[in-house]
A and B are shown apart, each in its own frame.
Chain A
Amino acid sequence: MNKEYDVLVAGGGNAALCAGLTALDAGARVLIVEYAPRDFRGGNSRHTRNLRAMHDKPTATLVGAYSEEEYWSDLLGVTGGNTDEHLARLMIRATAELLPWMESRGARFQLSLSGTLGLSRTNAFFLGGGKALLNAYYTTAERMGMDVVYDSEVKSLCLANGAVREAEVFSMGETRNIRAKAVVACSGGFQADVEWLREYWGDAAENFIIRGTPYAKGVLLRNLLDQGVASAGDATQCHCVAVDARAPKFDGGIVTRLDCIPFSIVVDRHGNRFYDEGQEFWPKRYAIWGRLVAQQPGQIAYSIMDSKAEKLFIPSVFPAVRSETIGELAANLGLDPSALENSVRNYNRALRPGIFNPDVLDDCSTEGIDPPKTHWARTIDTPPFIGYPLRPGITFTYLGLKVDENAAVLMQNGQPVANLFAAGEIMAGNILGKGYLAGIGMAIGSVFGRIAGREAAKVAQH
């Protein structure tokens, strides 16, 4: 850490490693400053599994083709136009060359087998998941001479005259100033700082589950915003899914998610339904349910089904709550039995006959109740009855730093900082105004990580 570095990378996840590896290629001396201890290195990338990549013909691990236009229209669909088309298209096009580069740096892919929400055409899956990918990147980078310090946090960057002069790093109980010719900020969102979340969500924030790393506290993000760096993205927007309410507060990852919602009814803590559970295929609605649950009283909801639905989804890590009657199930979940019985009765009465098929948007729906359930609606009548408690689970927040096409961080006046770049969650809000597409976080992190690493090395060597 006492050496003079060309490029200092704040953060140790996918974007950070892509930046570091690219800067190393250009001959730069690189230091990675990772807040987490070694065992938990890698930010939220540890919990990821795949990356969305455009391709015009089948590859070793991707079937069919996925064009720039289709990718763009998928992104447009989830963000409702709340995106930067120039940056988004640049990112999409760059994913076409990403996989071979990743493989050359040690990444390994697998064919998607099961439980992957049917993404084998659009998303490339990392063999063993994100932690295995990160292990490979770290191994390659260390072999190429990159230095890494763990348990070390970049607290602030000193901006003066349009450039970063110094980084203030807290490490091993003391604060040191490290000089580097260029800095890449890859330190993630602020989702693990509950106090910051409270600024927008109030007391509801206390009931959020943080699915990923507890080290994404947004310290550097706030430090830069306070120094007049332009922001991108809405502070209340985030990737937020419904998770099992029994999940640990932090770092529960993938195993806490519940895919049962389309085959169930979901009620709030008063036992009332509040949204169409069968609106669309689950992969397309997966990322809206966190917000929906966050908007309910007490930020809790309950997915209720009968034994017919049990085999239709991947089991959660927590055992389902089961009972022989709806009333008993309600009592076991802490709900008012008569209220839940009432909701189930009303729902059962509103069902229209149809042919159930989980693989298509079938014709099993309700009539005359509000909200309706428009697909996969079947009677809840076959014991044992099953329930899961749900909470909002935040993956990452979208408020970030505004960047240009070189991943250079922009000041509020629109001028880029000469030697400061950003990649990953800390700038994903430029592209993700709202909503989410599976695997796009890793795509943004990888593409902008590489751009940031390239540009940082260029600046450092001038």
Chain B
Amino acid sequence: MRSTEAVDEARRVFVICNACRYCEGYCAVFPAMEKRRAFTAGDIGYLANLCHDCRGCYYACQYAPPHEFALNLPKTLSRVRAQTYTEYAWPKPLAGLFQRNGMIVTLAASASLALVLLLATDLQSSQILYGTHGVPGSFYAVIPEALMVGIGLATFSFAVLALAMGWRNFRRDTSGGSVSEWRSLFRAACDALTLRNLGGSAHGCNNLDQSFSQSRRYAHQALFYGFFLCLASTTAAAFYEHILGIIPPFPFFSLPVVLGAVGGVGMLIGAAGLAWIKIQSDPAPAAKACLGADYALLGLLFLAAATGLLLLALRETRAMGILLSFHLGVVLSFFLVIPYSKFVHGIYRFAALLRNATERKTS
């Protein structure tokens, strides 16, 4: 972790916070901070990712601007987090994609979407593309199975590899200890699954202003669990096809469709909710430079869910071919940008929660 202006500012803020400690009831960042008297750049990267941006400390802070100490911890840590995404990115030459990330994600998504649509309309006969289907194998008639599965697997595997390397880089730099402590892993998983650190002692967080609410936590959970239901749907689909020998499209009340439909609705609600909260919220504790990346990923996830649900609704009509191409184009662009988008926050935040659980255990 390089020492930058953002890291230096975080260090200045932590020295003041550590002498005050009024916020220690809000989240895990403060008790973790109190264990230290000096802060290495690695410590600051860790604490920045432990921060869930609930903003409770900003509204409670007696030293917030215009006070001369001008503390703004959520904003400062958001800036450091953005820096960690660049620093730990793999492979290194692609780290630059985190600069102006909102634009890059949008461009990448548009490009891959355009490519898929072009290829589909160019290579596929219009009879098939605009025909009505609804029979087993109709998806693969529009886009050949080998192509769909091949590209999907390749891009997704690369994303998983790049995320794993980022995880490794982060843990090395912030001396994360061993992952083999199952109890710490369990505690970290509980923290992540419940978003305990957005709970603010059961009152929720400061989504919009000084008032408290749980809406951001619930919206994030809708998106998070919705996303995993969609992953589960894909896995179930593979099981249906390759083990049970059932060819998609699957019936409405089959496992892949039910999981995908529920997950897709969750993602729609979650992504729209988070974007709505972001638009409404007080800009003071937010780092403006990070907003582009936030909106870009939310937009992409919303689009992926929306096109998936639309495809489900209209899969027996003439629109199916083009909708399938559209949906797969969005999914492909999502797979491509996973390691170079806001998506990585989940990896580093979980690594930070894991380190925190280990620290809490040893103290």
Contacts and interface: CB of A to CB of B under 8 A. Distances in A.
**A is bound by B:** yes
Interface in A290-330: 311, 314-317
Nearest to B26: A128
Contacts of A110: 24-25, 201
B107 interface: no
B60 A129 contact: yes
Q: Interface size bucket, B side?
A: 20 to 34
A239 interface: no
Contact of B34 (A115, A129, A253): A115
A255 B16 contact: yes
Interface in B196-227: 200-201, 203, 210-211
Interface stretch (A131-139, A167-175, A349-357, A367-375): A131-139
Nearest to A251: B67
B63 A128 contact: no
B15 A317 contact: yes
A129 B56 CA distance: 11
Given A108-B201, A135-B210, A315-B37, A49 B22 contact: yes
B23 A129 contact: yes
Contacts of B34: 114-115
A269 interface: no
Contacts of A1: none
B66 to A, nearest CB: 6
Contact of A135 (B19, B59, B201): B59
A231 to B, nearest CB: 30
A130 to B, nearest CB: 7
Interface string B10-35: 00000110111111111000010010
A116 B25 CA distance: 12
Nearest to B12: A317
B232 interface: no
Contact of A255 (B19, B37, B56): B19
Please indicate which of the listed interface residues B16, B24, B26, B62 has the most CB atoms of chain A within 10 Å of its own CB: B62
A131 B62 contact: yes
Contacts of A131: 59-62
Contacts of B61: 131
Nearest to A136: B210
A87 interface: no
B68 interface: yes
Given A108-B201, A108-B203, A128-B57, A253 B62 contact: yes
Nearest to B17: A255
Contacts of B63: 253, 255
Contacts of A129: 20, 22-23, 60, 62
B18 A315 contact: yes
B25 A125 contact: yes
Contacts of B68: 248, 251
B25 A128 contact: yes
Nearest to A259: B19
Contacts, number: 88
Nearest to B200: A127
Contacts of B37: 311, 315
B19 A314 contact: yes
Contact of A114 (B21, B26, B59): B21
Interface in A237-270: 248, 251, 253-255
A248 B37 CA distance: 22
Interface in B35-93: 37, 56-57, 59-69
A248 B62 CA distance: 14
A4 B191 CA distance: 52
A46 interface: yes
Contact of B16 (A108, A128, A317): A317
A391 interface: no
A113 interface: yes
A359 interface: no
A56 interface: no
A114 B203 contact: no
Contacts of B66: 39-40
A179 interface: no
A155 to B, nearest CB: 25
Contact of B25 (A39, A111, A139): A111
Given A127-B26, A135-B210, A139-B210, A314 B57 contact: no
Contacts of B31: 113-114
Nearest to A257: B19
Contacts of B25: 110-111, 113, 125, 127-128
A248 B16 CA distance: 13
A454 interface: no
B20 A254 contact: yes
Give the one of A47, A49, A255, A316 with max B CB within 10 A. Answer: A255
A315 B19 contact: yes
Interface in B166-221: 200-201, 203, 210-211
Nearest to A317: B19
Nearest to B202: A108
A305 B284 CA distance: 42
A127 B61 CA distance: 11
Contacts of B57: 128
Contacts of A113: 21, 24-25, 31
Contacts of A314: 18-19, 21
B72 to A, nearest CB: 13
A148 to B, nearest CB: 14
A360 B210 CA distance: 42
Nearest to B60: A128
A254 B59 contact: no
B21 A115 contact: yes
A47 B62 contact: yes
Contact of B59 (A40, A132, A311, A315): A132
Contacts of A111: 25
A46 B62 contact: yes
A87 B357 CA distance: 49
B60 A132 contact: yes
Q: Point out which of A40, A47, A129, A139 has the most chain B C-beta atoms below 10 A from its C-beta.
A: A129
Given A315-B15, A317-B16, A128 B56 contact: yes
B23 A254 contact: no
A311 B200 CA distance: 30
Interface string A65-105: 00000000000000000000000000000000000000000
Nearest to A39: B66
A139 B26 CA distance: 19
A277 to B, nearest CB: 21
Given A47-B62, A110-B25, 6 more contacts: A108-B203, A127-B200, A129-B20, A129-B22, A314-B21, A316-B19
Interface of B: 15-16, 18-26, 31, 34, 37, 56-57, 59-69, 200-201, 203, 210-211
14 contacts: A40-B66, A113-B21, A113-B31, A114-B21, A114-B31, A114-B34, A128-B22, A128-B60, A129-B22, A131-B59, A131-B60, A135-B59, A248-B68, A317-B19
Pick the 5 closest A-B CB pairs, nearest first. Answer: A128-B60, A110-B25, A129-B22, A132-B60, A255-B19
